[in-house]
């Protein structure tokens, strides 16, 4: 018939985000509160270049998703001392 089979449509998966352990053990001690900390994680079904937004204490921090799905944002010590 000369037509082509379009195949099975591709349905994108649901975007997901995973957080790595914060401050190494998910517990922020007094020494760690006095220095900047990195919050990081990975995403799946998210395009590189998309923004992950973290809100802490009314402050917003943005991270860009990398080609491998990873992202990280630095939380300043001043935002942790509270």
pLDDT at residue 59 in the model:
94
**Is there a domain that residue 73 lies in?**
yes
Question: How far apart, in whole angstroms, are the C-alpha atoms of residue 52 and residue 65?
Answer: 7
Q: Which domain holds residue 57?
A: 16-24+32-77
pLDDT at residue 4 in the model:
62
**Is there a domain that residue 70 lies in?**
yes
**Is there a domain that residue 2 lies in?**
no
Question: How far apart, in whole angstroms, are the C-alpha atoms of residue 10 and residue 40?
Answer: 30
Per-residue b/e over 42-80, b at no fewer than 16 CB within 10 Å? bbeebeeeeebeeeeeeeeeebebeeebbbebebeeebb
pLDDT below 70 — which residues of the chain? 1-6, 82
CATH of the domain at 36: 2.60.40.10
Report field, pTM of the whole predicted structure over 0.85: no
**Is there a domain that residue 5 lies in?**
no
């Amino acid at each position: 018939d000369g037509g082509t089979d379009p195949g099975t449509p591709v349905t994108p998966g649901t975007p997901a985000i995973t957080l790595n352990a914060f401050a190494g053990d998910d517990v922020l001690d007094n020494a760690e509160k006095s220095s900047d900390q990195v919050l990081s994680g990975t995403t799946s079904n998210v395009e590189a270049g998309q923004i992950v937004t973290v809100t802490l204490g009314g402050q917003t921090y943005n991270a860009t998703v990398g080609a491998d799905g990873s992202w990280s944002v630095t939380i300043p010590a001043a935002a942790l001392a509270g």
